[in-house]
Amino acid sequence: MPTDVERWKDEVYGNEIREHLFRFAEEGWDAIPEEEEDAWFERFKWWGLYHQRKGQESYFMMRIGTPNGVLEPGQLRTVAEVADEYARGPVDNPEFGAAYCDWTTRQSIQLHWIKLEDVPDIFEKLEENDLTTQQACGDSWRNIVGCPVAGKDTHEHIDAWPVAEELHETFKGNDAYSNLPRKWKVSVTGCDQGCGQGDINDLAFEPAEKHGELGFNVRVGGGLSRKEPRLARDVDIWVPEEKATDIAAAVTELFNDHGDRDNRYNARIKFLVDEWGADKVRRVLQEDYTDWDLESAGDDLRDQYTYNAGGHEHGDHVGVHEQPDGNYYVGLNVLVGRQGVEDVYELADLADEYGSGEVRLTQRQNVIVTDIPEEDLDDFLAADLLEDYSPDPHPFMRGSIACTGTEFCSLSIVETKNRQVRYARWLKENVDVPDGVTDFHIHLSGCTASCAQPQIADISLRGMKTRKDGEPVEALDVGLGGGLGENPHFAEWVEMRVPADEVPGYIQNLLATYEDERQNDETFRDFIQRQEEDALQELADPEETDYDDPYMHNTKMTWYPYADDDDMDASPAPTNGEGEPISADD
């Protein structure tokens, strides 16, 4: 029996959703028949609009897909202007103000509190500046990720940016690929450091050499969601650069035909690869989906991968780095990936003044300003904005990543972004950084969807509940020792259901143990991997400290966790195009 979602997609999906979206925008929020709301919300995702959660009816999150995280000159200002004009809700966020932009772990942009009535004007403004929300969500080719400094990296073997661009041009808006069984995440890596994070994508292109020619090895079936993390499997295929689009089409068609449309929880291609094995995936690709002889895998560069590999080499792109053309790129740390809109304007100004105007987004929720001439570097680094978005941040500020959480997301179990801000500040003030550690990843995801990529962090935090003093409170499961590199490893889940206000104390105790018991300059990841399973549990205990957590109550059941009166009944939603509450009698 087809799922509701498949049935809804059969009726209307893909590009044609736009005309309906615009019709509803013209007629207003309450023109959507109540019994059709969930069907339309599912479809709107294809155009980058996620309806926000219960209590925030009529408001949407809007995702703008920026392939490889590249914002061409002028585009960041456009994003800031859209956020400034349209992404303002009924209540300010206490940390970030009234309007802000989120940079995501898939190098995209998310804005909140978008009203349906404003969507045509927003699309017009974005599209005038070659930005789009098309296929940013939904069951289709999502935003293509990759090395965020592709084309500007001294570690590069292949410039992955033109490859990502061609994939984007081919598969965005293409009706043949517009209705897949589930989301489809693709990564292109061109450097020898592994910054594309191909291991956690449905389809990954990784640099490899064959017959003296550089091309890509293909991996299939990675992903982190639903407590079923998988590393992308090696399907023993190498393609030259000019064949990347063809093999991508072939793998997508295979997924389209064989992905599970009867069960959305089994639909991602990682489960098909589990069932078939890599050999069968390759055989079926050869027999049914390609008209050329597939080459076996070439020599890859994985033994050189340093990105998020647990060492001290290259956990992100923060800092000052020389480009091959002699200019510099500067990676700036954005705590939990969120910037107030005034800061985004200022960032756009700085990029214009000192660089080419281009800004890039990383899979660590950070930003990179590129193309800064050496003679301007000191002036750029002296800019006031860099006091808050540092190229040389404290390790606990640098490594803190968080998903959207219960602030807006229906799936999340706990509040995340503001909590992670508070964690990072407390850790910075109260915890000694172990000697030699410059980059320490703490990723907080509100649920098992794993949008903050917790399984590949030094410390993985995942939303949960527990009881404390007889009351249900927000809690986190804690995992340790995850990361990528040549031998990627998912975090071991060590402490379950830790009350959220005891997590900073746990991290403090854990890092003290690490400092005491590490061997020589052993990295945290190596230290964790050296432990026996039982010993992991004994490394540290959760503990209350003077850390204060204002979000221990059930934030999922508030209308907005930071409102003075956060009770669901106090919500002004739904509202009309002017943001005025629509009464139930209307």
Partner 1 sequence: MATRLRLLDDAAWVSVNDERAVGTSEVWPVAESFCSCSLAWLVVEAFVDVGADGRRVEARPHGHCLNCGESGTAPWLPVGKVTDDGFELVEGVRR
CB of 266 to partner 1, least distance (A): 12
- Determine, following the binding rule CB under 8 A, whether residue 112 of this chain makes contact with partner 1: no
Binding residues for partner 1, how many (CB under 8 A)?
26
Check residue 582 for interaction with partner 1 (CB under 8 A). Answer: no
Closest CA to 8 of 41, 31, 30: 41
Concatenated DSSP letters of 178-233: SS-SS-B-EEE--BSS-TT-GGGSSEEEEEEEETTEEEEEEEE--B--TT--BPPE
Which of 572, 13, 534 is closest to 261 using CA atoms?
Answer: 13
By beta-carbon proximity to partner 1, the closer residue of 411 and 563 is 411
Each residue 38-77 as x (binds partner 1 by CB under 8 A) or -, in order, gives: x---------------x-----------------------
31 binds partner 1 (CB under 8 A): no
Choose which of 410, 438, 513, 531 interacts with partner 1 (CB under 8 A): 410
Residue 448, CB-side half-sphere exposure with 13 Å CA sphere = 7
Q: Which is nearer to partner 1, 45 or 398 (CB)?
A: 45
Options 306-314, 357-365, 406-414, 532-540: segment touching partner 1 (CB under 8 A): 406-414
Q: Does 413 bind partner 1 (CB under 8 A)?
A: yes
Q: Shortest approach of partner 1 to residue 504 CB, angstroms?
A: 21
Q: Are 63 and 50 in contact (CB under 8 A)?
A: yes
| Interacting residue with partner 1 among 129, 215, 556, 561 (CB under 8 A) | 556
Q: Does residue number 261 form part of the binding site for partner 1 (CB under 8 A)?
A: no
Q: Does residue number 557 form part of the binding site for partner 1 (CB under 8 A)?
A: yes
Note the maximum CA span of the chain: 72
Question: Which residue of 121, 124, 130, 265 would you call a contact of partner 1, by CB under 8 A?
Answer: 265
Q: Closest separation between CB of residue 273 and partner 1, Å?
A: 21
- Specify burial of residue 152 (Cβ count, 10 A radius: 0-12, 13-18, 19+): buried
What one-letter code names the amino acid at 295?
E
Nearer to partner 1, 261 or 314 (CB): 261
Residue 37 is a binding residue for partner 1 (CB under 8 A): yes
Q: Which of 425, 554, 576, 581 binds partner 1 (CB under 8 A)?
A: 554
Cβ density class 309-320: b for 16+ within 10 Å, e for less: bbeeebbbbbbe
CA nearest 329: which of 353, 355, 304? 355
Least CB distance to partner 1 at residue 389 (A): 33
Q: Which is nearer to partner 1, 10 or 37 (CB)?
A: 37
Contact 366, 331 (CB under 8 A): yes
Kind plus residue range of the DSSP H or E element containing 398: helix 395-398
The SS3 assignment for 63 reads: strand
Contact flag: residue 411 with partner 1 (CB under 8 A): yes
Comparison of 37 and 257: residue with beta carbon closer to partner 1 = 37
Site residues (CB under 8 A) for partner 1, limited to 433-492: 447-449, 463-467, 472
According to DSSP, the β-strands at 59-64 and 442-445 are: unpaired
Of 33 and 212, nearer to partner 1 (C-beta) is: 33
Shortest Cβ 403–partner 1 spacing (Å): 13
Question: Quick one: 373 or 550, whose CB is closer to partner 1?
Answer: 550
381 versus 449: smaller Cβ distance to partner 1: 449
Is residue 515 classed as helix, strand or coil in its secondary structure? helix
Q: What share of the chain is helix, strand, coil (3-state, %, to 5)?
A: 35, 20, 40
258 binds partner 1 (CB under 8 A): no
Ramachandran angles phi, psi of 262, nearest 5°: -90, -15
Q: What are phi and psi of 561, to 5 degrees?
A: -65, -15
Chain residues in the site for partner 1 (CB under 8 A): 4, 34-35, 37-38, 54, 264-265, 410-411, 413-414, 447-449, 463-467, 472, 496-497, 554, 556-557
